[in-house]
Amino acid sequence: MTISPRRVAGAAMVGFALAANVPFALLVERFGYDDVLREPPLQVLAAFRAGGPELIVIWLAFALCALAFLWVSGWTGEAIRSGGGRWPAWAAAAGAASAVAQAVGLSRWSFVVPGLADRALDGSPMESAVAVGTYQALHQFAGVAIGEWLGQTLLAAWTVAVGLALVRGPLARGIWTRALGLVALILSPLWIVGQVELLATVDPAFPEFQITQWVFTGWLVWLLALGVTWIVQGETK
């Protein structure tokens, strides 16, 4: 029996939302994520090392979940096209690039930060200063610029494309489907507004809108709801 593209995409969405929520929740509980990232470097590195090997594994799991979005994005595009909807090339590229960018940014916590934490906390004053400076540069570039800004901006663009497909065209059938499309179109600009906080990491003159974590949580709930909807609908509605 052939499984419809919509059900495949729906199952991928549900699996991704549930899987990504596990390391995300663990990081909030054990590391104070993501507020801790704005603390002084030595405080962040001390909290990171206190988490031990388990925290390294949790970060790696989070990075792998981000990378798995490659398949979610690809199957979503296939489901929209198979249903007669419009799925532009830029949307496919945004979803794939977002997965890679966020995975790269998150991977630093498993493969680079452990060594920096050891040198910053146990090394000589010179070694500690170099390690802290390296951490700050890595955090701003790989974390803030690539993972948070580029990765999340691309994910917001992908979400807009899905939202548009749900509110217009052949897929816009039923109040619930259109409502999910509207939620996607509301979440995306809120995500961009929340990213003004990233500029505050380089210049305190910029305002800090502490909404990104809540928008991401709302996005996971939205993705889960859409996935369940597509599993139930299949190709019948």
Residue with the bigger pLDDT between 135 and 236: it is 135
Q: How many C-beta neighbours within 10 Å does residue 101 have?
A: 23
d(CA 110, CA 81): 37
Q: What is the pLDDT of residue 237?
A: 45
Instruction: Cis check for the bond before 34: say yes or no (omega within 30 of 0).
Output: yes
pLDDT class of 234 with cuts at 50, 70, 90? confident
For the chain, helix, strand, coil in percent to 5 are: 80, 0, 20
Q: Per residue in 132-165, pLDDT tens?
A: 999 999 999 999 999 999 999 999 999 999 999 9
